[in-house]
Amino acid sequence: MVGLKVWSAVAAGIIGITMFTASAPILAQGGDTVLKPADAEKLLPPSVFYRGQSATTQVRNSGGVKFADGYYVLSSLVDTSGYSTAVAAKYQAYFINEVPIKIGGHRLSPGAYGVGFIAGSKFVVTDLGAHDVFTVSSTADSAIKRPMPLQVLADPVHGFRLYAGRQYVVFER
């Protein structure tokens, strides 16, 4: 009888923890929090300026990180209809970072940028005038269970991964 009470209490505890963590944002290393689209939607504007035009953000395809000290990195796919083919090929998402970060060994100062995953397994960062800032290699993740058009996940080693489908780049502070 005592064993049954103990197991019942353990089961209730596991269920309670599961219910609590399922609705909470995902905590990553050092108290940093990976943001899901519902979290990022509260912070991202409905449209953004890039290369002389306004583009609608696709907040359902967004994500980011809230660092333990309260600073953010946010990204959202954008509607690039109306842009030239050359611009739309490189500009798939809006990327905002409030603190300096590193992507593929390159330092990215705080600001707003256009980013895109391009042919040849490359990731390009452009300024708001569509000028290239830098290009790095991206990696394909064949093991990802549910690829999304855009998402941010914690990297198992360090930092975070910005995904577009199965392609990703790692960014870190």
Locus of tokens 């030239």 = 84
Q: 123 in a domain, yes or no?
A: yes
Q: 121 in a domain, yes or no?
A: yes
Q: 9 in a domain, yes or no?
A: no
Give the residue numbers spanning the domain of 70. 26-172
Mean pLDDT, 10 residues at a time, the chain of 173 residues: 47 40 51 96 97 97 98 98 95 98 97 98 98 98 96 96 98 97
Task: Identify the helix (H) or strand (E) that includes residue 10.
Answer: helix 2-23
Answer yes or no: pTM beyond 0.85. Answer: no
pLDDT tens for each residue of 5-46 = 544 444 444 434 333 333 345 565 579 999 999 999 999 999
pLDDT of residue 141: 98
E strands in the chain? 26-27, 33-35, 47-50, 53-66, 72-78, 93-97, 101-103, 106-108, 111-118, 122-126, 132-137, 139-140, 148-154, 160-165, 167-172
Q: 15 in a domain, yes or no?
A: no
Q: 6 in a domain, yes or no?
A: no
Q: 16 in a domain, yes or no?
A: no
pLDDT of residue 45: 96
Q: 19 in a domain, yes or no?
A: no
Q: 151 in a domain, yes or no?
A: yes
How many independent structural domains does the chain possess? 1
